[in-house]
Structure 1
Amino acid sequence: MFTYLKLTNFKAWRTTGGIALKPVTMLLGTNSSGKSSLIQSLLLLKQTAQSPDRTTHLNLGGDELHDYFSFGEFDNVLTQGTRTPRQFSIAFAFQRQRPARVRAGSFEAAYGQTSSGGIAIQELCLSTDGRRFRAIRRERGAYSVMVDDEPQPRGKGRHLAPERSIAFPAEAISLLEKDGPLLEDLSLAIRRELENIVYLGPLRRKPERDYVWNKSMPGEVGSDGHRAVDVLLSSALTRNGEQSAIIEGVSNWLARMKVADKLEVHQISRSTRYEVVIHRDGVAANLRDVGIGISQVLPVLTVAHFAPAGSTIILEEPEIHLHPLAQSVLAELFVELSRKRQVQFIVETHSEHLFRRMQTLIAKQQITPKDAAMYFVEREGKAARMRPLELDDFGRVKNWPEGFFGDALGETREQTALAIQRAKELRARDGNVPG
């Protein structure tokens, strides 16, 4: 689980300051305020860690099949107006829930532009259990490898350049002798945390009328949710208890949202094709023929049940096309499954209903403020600004931002004033009518 994130000179962020990440973290705020940049920073590191080229320092994307985002060039990532040094940085901390050789650690990397226009790590720092390993770029692409507070580097040279942002090369590991295995374990733990990010974007693919099942469980749902139905088919058509629980869980949550009574998979004749059937009010219909809200939330529910324990599930606008009650129930999904399945949710949302239900769940003590974090992101001139929302034990916000989710009280006040004014006008008009 990620426990901390900090960005400096990254896109809209001069600095985020330290952001505490909890089992359920919600990012709220205005459009184009910088919320998505927070998510993209982790996905940038994930696609870098998965890059086939181990010598790359940062994979800005461009491969539509394997990358989550194309970030463009260095200047597209660097905050506009950044002066010397022209660098941006990403830092995070993590804590592993399963027994592991490295239970917790931190990552921080600063990136700059080379004379040829590429991106190079200026400084990489990996830490765990009070130990700190750094790679610092010197002239002509050479790196110094430093350990803890030792005044002299363990080694220098171009051959000591970091790999994929998260690892030191084999030459550096060998150079560190007895400290080498710890650094290897730390790099592997960081890689695992990034690989365990599961991302579902705001635009999910529309459903098909029927599907072919290849008799295997897919490895992922996909950023647009296009493999969600494959997961449901595998869950429904195999006898594996853990896999079978996925479709049952999805069906139960659809019922709790009151968008369907249940979900089933039907084989079409004796072919290899199957359809997803939605039952509601005694009527069975193909997924293609029901409201779009069901097909859009289906990947959200699927990934929440499918992601392995220890995963960080990042969701953008999970509430899209859902009615208010269903949006509210999403908060219950995040709270219950984060605890039951040991997964982390980082949710970017515009839904007032989702937020209000989170407040209620805190008031009902179904989740405590220490396990939930909510942030409001807004623009201050050209820069993004982060406001941690301070909630008490009853879910009340102590530092309510101006214009947050509109002004419901103001709208009610204005409606009441207009109603009174109109009543007066009607009485005056009726009083002037000749008898």
Structure 2
Amino acid sequence: MFTSLQLRNFKAWVDSGKIDLKPVTMLLGTNSSGKSTLIQSLLLLKQTAMSPDRTIHLNLGGDEVNDLFNFGDFDDVLNQYAEAPRSFSLDVALRRREAKSDINNIGLRCVYQKISSGSVALQEVEISTNGQIFRAARREKGAYSIYVDEEPQPRGKGRSYAPERSISFSAEALFMLGEDGDLLEDTSLEIRRELEGISYLGPLRRKPERDYSWNKSRPGDLGSDGKGAIDALLASSLMKGDDRDYILNGVSRWLSRMKLADKIEVRQQGRSNRYELIVHRGEVSCNLRDVGIGVSQILPVLVVSYFAKRGSVVILEEPEIHLHPLAQSTLAELFVEVGKERDLQFIVETHSEHLFRRMQTLIAKNPRNLEDVSMYFIEREDGKAKLRTLEVDEVGRLLNWPDGFFGDAIGETREQARIAIERMKDRKK
């Protein structure tokens, strides 16, 4: 899981400061404040790590099929207030839950700068594990110097030592480092696995179809719009194995808790290879296409919670979209319970007051949840993104809530009462 994140001169952020990430991390705030940028930084590292070109330093996107996000070019990413040298950096720390004993806590720091050719170059990369630090620093004409810990002189330098995909040192550099190279290679592999394991679901999800074909295989990824969610449900119901119906049953259980449906069923159309999803609620059963949009929009969120690999990271933007208040509230329980059950880390960007309030209640019921939940409020101040840690005590009370974000429920009630009293007085005249 990721344990911290820090952005400097990246889009809306001049310097985010070190942001602690916990098993459940909630990002709240005003529109266009910089919430999504925090998420996008991890997606940028993921699509770079997964690039088919190992020599690439930063994959800003553009491939609609394989990339998660199109960031444009360097100037689109660089913060407008960045001073010379015009560069931005991404720092992440992570802990592998099943890591080898000598690779427990890992740090990655990448600094990027535009070079004379107009392309983006990795100016410096630093990879650390358990206090040992490996650094590659760019010199003239694409040559890199390799440093270990606080050694004043580089172990080696040359163009053949250029890092790969921002997370790996070259084979030549690893060989030159000897036994240290073995540790560095294993550490880079752990970083790659963690990034590749990220499951991301954006705020815009596909509308349901009346029926679906199935190619008799399990999808590799659900896609940012949840397009693979139905295939995952079909595979869960139709493929043989010990985990048959695991995803389907999990989804049905949470649909019931959200009062959206009693269960969901996969039904074959005759003897064809076409299948439909049937939603059962009370005495009524109907095609997914014929129920409220909220069910189809929450399906990918529920599916990814059971489809994602155990111990991995799930990133969600506005999971509450099109849901009624009770269902929004229940999402907080989903993140806490399924997170613990499947050892998942949820990083959630949301505008939902109901989700936030239920998380407060869960903390009040079990103060130990404070250790597993972090909540942040992001806003703009003088054109720059600013982060505030939301401080919650052991009974769920928020100690520093920004004014006006969720409105003023008590104030609204007071104003309604005042108006009612005034009208009663007028009627008596």
TM-score normalised according to structure 2 size: 0.98
How do residues 394-413 of structure 1 correspond to structure 2 at under 5 angstroms? 394-413=395-414
Secondary structure at 1:58 match in 2: coil
CA drift at 1:366: 7.1
Match of 2:52 in 1: 52
C-alpha distance in 2 between matches for 1:3 and 1:264: 38
**Structure (1 or 2) with the larger CA radius of gyration:** 1
Quick one: structure 1 residues 262 and 398, their matched pair in 2 at CA, closer, same or farther if it must change by over 3 Å? same
C-alpha distance in 2 between matches for 1:303 and 1:246: 9
Task: Say whether 1:318 aligns with 2:319.
Answer: yes
CA drift at 1:244: 2.2
Tell me the amino acid that sits aligned with residue 8 of structure 2.
Answer: T
Match of 2:66 in 1: 66
CA drift at 1:55: 0.7
List structure 1 runs of 4+ shifted beyond 4 angstroms.
none
C-alpha distance in 2 between matches for 1:8 and 1:87: 9
Match of 1:369 in 2: 370
Task: Say whether 1:218 aligns with 2:219.
Answer: yes
CA drift at 1:241: 2.3
Tell me the amino acid that sits aligned with residue 306 of structure 2.
Answer: H
Match of 2:11 in 1: 11
Tell me the amino acid that sits aligned with residue 294 of structure 1.
Answer: V
CA drift at 1:215: 1.3
Tell me the amino acid that sits aligned with residue 409 of structure 1.
Answer: I
Mapped contact 1:335–1:367 kept (Cα < 8 A)? no
Question: 1:185-228: per-residue Cα shift (whole Å, max 9, x none)?
Answer: 01001101100110000000011111111111111111100110
Secondary structure at 1:393 match in 2: coil
How do residues 77-116 of structure 1 correspond to structure 2 at under 5 angstroms? 77-100=77-100, 102-116=103-117
C-alpha distance in 2 between matches for 1:117 and 1:189: 31
Match of 2:287 in 1: 286
CA drift at 1:421: 1.7
- RMSD (Å) for aligned C-alpha atoms: 1.0
Secondary structure at 1:182 match in 2: helix
C-alpha distance in 1 between matches for 2:77 and 2:348: 22
How do residues 14-413 of structure 1 correspond to structure 2 at under 5 angstroms? 14-100=14-100, 102-365=103-366, 368-413=369-414
Question: 1:358-404: per-residue Cα shift (whole Å, max 9, x none)?
Answer: 00001010752110000001010210000010111111111111113
C-alpha distance in 2 between matches for 1:261 and 1:191: 40
Higher alpha-carbon deviation: 407-416 or 98-107: 98-107
Tell me the amino acid that sits aligned with residue 236 of structure 1.
Answer: S
C-alpha distance in 2 between matches for 1:240 and 1:351: 38
C-alpha distance in 2 between matches for 1:99 and 1:125: 20
List alignment gaps of at least 5 residues for structure 2.
Answer: none
Mapped contact 1:92–1:108 kept (Cα < 8 A)? yes
Higher alpha-carbon deviation: 14-23 or 406-415: 406-415
Higher alpha-carbon deviation: 155-164 or 293-302: 155-164
Question: 1:339-359: per-residue Cα shift (whole Å, max 9, x none)?
Answer: 000000000000000000000
CA drift at 1:182: 0.2
Mapped contact 2:367–2:394 kept (Cα < 8 A)? no
Quick one: structure 1 residues 99 and 107, their matched pair in 2 at CA, closer, same or farther if it must change by over 3 Å? closer
TM-score normalised according to structure 1 size: 0.97
CA drift at 1:103: 2.1
C-alpha distance in 2 between matches for 1:235 and 1:418: 55
C-alpha distance in 2 between matches for 1:277 and 1:315: 26
> Identity percentage over the alignment?
64
C-alpha distance in 2 between matches for 1:55 and 1:103: 27
CA drift at 1:81: 2.6
C-alpha distance in 2 between matches for 1:362 and 1:71: 37
